[in-house]
Amino acid sequence: MIEVIELPKTLEPRYSAFVAQQAEGMIYWTLEFRDFLQRVLCGTPRYFLALDGSTVVGVLPCFESTHVEYGKLINSLPWFGSHGGCLVQSSDQALVRKALLDRYRELVNTPEVSFATLVLSPQENLAANEYAAVLIPDAVDGRIGQVTTLPMNGADIEDRLESTISQKTRNLARKSRKQGFELSIEDCDEAWRFLHETHAENMEGIGGRAKPWAHFVAMREAIPSYWRQLMIARLNGEPIAAMLIFRFNQTVEYITPVIKHEFRSLQPLSFLIWHGMLNAARDGFRLWNWGGTWATQTSLHHFKAGWGTTDQPYSYLIHAKPRALDALRKDRKAVSDAFPFYFTYPFHLIE
């Protein structure tokens, strides 16, 4: 019989060992990522553990945020669409998954909860019908995940990596390696300040939402240094581009790329991506996860696709009480501001 409990402090080491042992385990399920979220969000972690006797067979992480006017909101997980949902390992994965989702459904159905969103991982999206059958979401939204499979380490690895990417992207990567850039992996305050300031400039240029400086500080505090890399491209000693990646288990997460606008034509970001992929493959990583893309973001999708990606769509399974939707229709900014860095509801489905 499968028992689902809320994670106690005493079982945290077993939780962490379980996540690390699963080939599909991503950094988002780790307790280190939980600790990062606690530093940057107003909310409470609600992490569930599935046990078969004394054996851990599955986990499901959530965060809960409460607002005096708008009630409670559940995300699995918050912060720029971080993947959540179940991670299971058992001879009967469907049974374990259902037990975890039943517990999540109980949480979502409490009267105080106004909104809830579960963001599936691309791998778990293969079981999306199982999720929908248990959760019966009020709405479903989607993203296009893009993942590059990295070559195994060994002879001719550079040639084999080049063979996975498109001709145009291959040419740009080759061009970038002829510009005299200096590559470094840094963890000093100066490098992180460059990352944040250039990120803010880049996002302002496209009307996007920049990650606050406090979030980068929290990453350095909560995410182990051997799970993250801040790669810098310099020209004549000056930083002109940077790329922050997370490296956990078998997967590299493409988190924050930045570039000084005036150097874009020299392709310093292609330089960083190429070396990031090559280093990751040499270190035994198998997947490079580019993150989610909206269907309308055709240029971004095309850029990522040039690096040999396969599309792996995934779903947002959403619940919203009628009173919550009424509040959104009345003042969506006020509701969104009440739950910063959480997902409330797809605005394009409100009307």
Q: Is the pLDDT of residue 351 over 80?
A: no
To the nearest whole number, what is the mean pLDDT of the chain? 96
- Residue 132, token pair as written in the block: 């929908």
Binning pLDDT at 50, 70 and 90, where does residue 320 land?
very high
What average pLDDT score do residues 44-67 get? 97
Task: Give the helix/strand (H/E) hosting 14.
Answer: helix 12-21
DSSP state, 347? G
Binning pLDDT at 50, 70 and 90, where does residue 91 land?
confident
What pLDDT is attached to residue 208? 87
What average pLDDT score do residues 257-272 get? 97
The residue ranges of DSSP E strands in the chain, in sequence order, are: 2-6, 44-52, 55-67, 71-76, 87-88, 113-119, 139-149, 182-185, 228-235, 238-248, 251-259, 287-293, 309-320
Give how far Cα 205 sits from Cα of 8, 240, 254, 301, Å. Answer: 45, 16, 20, 19
Q: Is the pLDDT of residue 350 over 90?
A: no
Give how far Cα 286 sits from Cα of 151, 157, 158, 276, 324, Å. Answer: 7, 13, 15, 13, 42
What pLDDT is attached to residue 215? 98
| Residue 315 near residue 144, CB atoms below 8 Å | no
Please give the share of the chain, as a percent, with pLDDT higher than 70. Answer: 100
> pLDDT for 189-248, tens place per residue?
999 999 999 999 999 998 989 999 999 999 999 999 999 999 999 999 999 999 999 999
What average pLDDT score do residues 263-290 get? 97
| Residue 211 near residue 200, CB atoms below 8 Å | no
What average pLDDT score do residues 306-330 get? 97
- Give the contacts of 304 (CB within 8 A, at least 6 positions apart): 146, 290, 293
Angle at 233 between CA 228 and CA 234, to 5 degrees: 135
Binning pLDDT at 50, 70 and 90, where does residue 295 land?
confident
- Residue 76, token pair as written in the block: 């699995």
Specify the 3-state DSSP secondary structure of 133. Answer: helix
Rounded to whole angstroms, the Cα distance separating 274 from 289 reads 14
What pLDDT is attached to residue 86? 98
Q: Is the pLDDT of residue 10 over 80?
A: yes
Specify the 3-state DSSP secondary structure of 311. Answer: strand
> pLDDT for 128-176, tens place per residue?
999 999 999 999 999 999 999 999 999 999 999 999 999 999 999 999 9
What pLDDT is attached to residue 181? 97
Task: Give the torsion through C-alpha atoms of 73, 74, 77, 79, to 10 deg.
Answer: 10
What pLDDT is attached to residue 272? 98
